[in-house]
């Protein structure tokens, strides 16, 4: 099987490294990286069985359009963008299955990519009706990830709750402390864990806010009203219920077990 990866950054580089390690023939399309089987022209993807698009969110539609003159229905194409509804507006001549690996770090670029990134991670697929996903699902499992199926709009609402809104709040918490040197000096592990997402890849953060604006707004309204509800009846039962559910969600290695 021949596999293509476009954009060798954190996610694309990790897919590239993992699939090579698994023994697949992997073609990389990169503007910055050089090496065996790495090219800058899309022509080299012509006879690939599966192609992963791993470029920034705001470039994905353009890349999909460019692939129209290179690939046919014989090739499965997936994009790994953190949002899924925006890629559903057009049909393509290749077999397109949008997806989103729920794995990452606060770093970006090939130098931070590593082959174990997807080990034990959920990998969401949002296929169109009647799409055969068996081959892609199999490859995702071989990379160590766990496939999860969802509708594109449900996915975008869910990631607003668990990823985009927490990132925005982490950035705001950090910014709110600026100017208070004592607070920043005293800040320890609680502040570090709470604000980890404030160190997110800026380009991706801006794309997330722009492309998932509506869902983030709704999720923020839900957050404000939840803070209000919590404070209006701040009691031990409610807090221990939250604490217990949060403890039950992750195992000792920090992996989500739900
Ligand atoms: P990244 O490390 O910045 O990698 C993106 C790569 O895309 C760059 O290294 C570059 O690769 C290429 N690229 C950059 N600008 C481009 C442009 N204008 N046109 C074409 N290619 C361009 O970012 P990433 O974290 O891997 O994110 C890539 C995709 O994965 C995004 O769609 C993101 O939503 C998604 N994603 C990210 C995470 C995460 O936590 N980081 C998690 C899941 C999904 P070359 O130099 O090789 O061309």
Q: Looking at the 3D structure of the chain, how many domains does it have?
A: 2
Q: Of 54, 65, 164, 209, which is best to mutate to test ligand 1, by the most ligand atoms within 8 angstroms of its C-beta?
A: 54
Separation of alpha carbons 125 and 106, rounded Å:
23
**104 within ligand 1 shell (Cβ under 6 A):** yes
Query: Ligand 1: distance of its center to the CA of 10 in Å?
Result: 7
**13 within ligand 1 shell (Cβ under 6 A):** no
Given 150, 170, 198, which residue is the final one in a domain? 150
Residue 254 lies in a domain: no
Separation of alpha carbons 80 and 122, rounded Å:
12
Q: What share of the chain is helix, strand, coil (3-state, %, to 5)?
A: 50, 15, 35
Domain CATH number, residue 240: 1.10.3660.10
Domain CATH number, residue 68: 3.40.50.720
**197 within ligand 1 shell (Cβ under 6 A):** no
Contact 1, 105 (CB under 8 A): no
Query: Ligand 1: distance of its center to the CA of 212 in Å?
Result: 18
Residue 255, Ramachandran bin (φ over 0: left; ψ between -120 and 50: alpha; else beta): beta
CB-neighbour burial class of residue 95 (10 A; exposed 0-12, middle 13-18, buried 19+): buried
CA angle at residue 134 from 36 to 94, to 5 degrees? 65
**200 within ligand 1 shell (Cβ under 6 A):** no
Q: What domain range includes position 234?
A: 154-249
Tens place of pLDDT per residue across the chain (258 aa):
999 999 999 999 999 999 999 999 999 999 999 999 999 999 999 999 999 999 999 999 999 999 999 999 999 999 999 999 999 999 999 999 999 999 999 899 999 999 999 999 999 999 999 999 999 999 999 999 999 999 999 999 999 999 999 999 999 999 999 999 999 999 999 999 999 999 999 999 999 999 999 999 999 999 999 999 999 999 999 999 999 999 999 999 888 988
Residue 256 lies in a domain: no
Q: Are residues 114 and 164 in the same domain?
A: no
Other C-beta atoms lying within 10 Å of the C-beta of residue 71? 23
Other C-beta atoms lying within 10 Å of the C-beta of residue 200? 22
């Amino acid at each position: 099987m021949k596999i293509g990866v476009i954009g060798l950054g954190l996610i694309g580089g990790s897919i590239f490294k993992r699939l090579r390690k698994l023994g697949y023939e992997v073609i990389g399309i990169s503007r910055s990286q050089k090496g065996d089987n790495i090219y800058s022209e899309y022509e080299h993807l012509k006879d690939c069985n599966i192609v992963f698009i791993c470029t920034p969110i705001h470039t994905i539609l353009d890349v999909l359009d460019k692939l129209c003159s290179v690939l046919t229905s014989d090739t499965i194409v997936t994009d790994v963008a953190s949002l899924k509804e925006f890629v559903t507006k057009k049909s393509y001549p290749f077999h397109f299955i949008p997806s989103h690996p729920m794995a990452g770090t606060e770093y970006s670029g090939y130098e931070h990519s590593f082959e174990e990134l997807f080990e034990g991670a959920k990998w969401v697929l949002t296929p169109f009706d009647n799409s055969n996903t068996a081959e892609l699902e199999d490859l995702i499992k071989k990379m160590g990830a766990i496939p999860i199926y969802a509708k594109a709009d449900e996915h975008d609402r869910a990631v607003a709750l668990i990823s985009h809104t927490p990132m925005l709040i982490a950035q705001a918490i950090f910014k709110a402390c600026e100017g208070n040197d004592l607070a920043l000096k005293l800040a320890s592990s609680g502040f570090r864990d709470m604000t980890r997402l404030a160190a997110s890849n800026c380009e991706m953060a801006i794309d997330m806010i722009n492309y998932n604006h509506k869902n983030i707004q709704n999720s923020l309204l839900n957050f404000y009203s939840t803070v209000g509800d919590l404070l209006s009846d701040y009691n031990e039962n409610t807090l221990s219920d939250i604490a217990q559910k949060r403890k039950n969600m992750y195992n000792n290695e920090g992996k989500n077990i739900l």
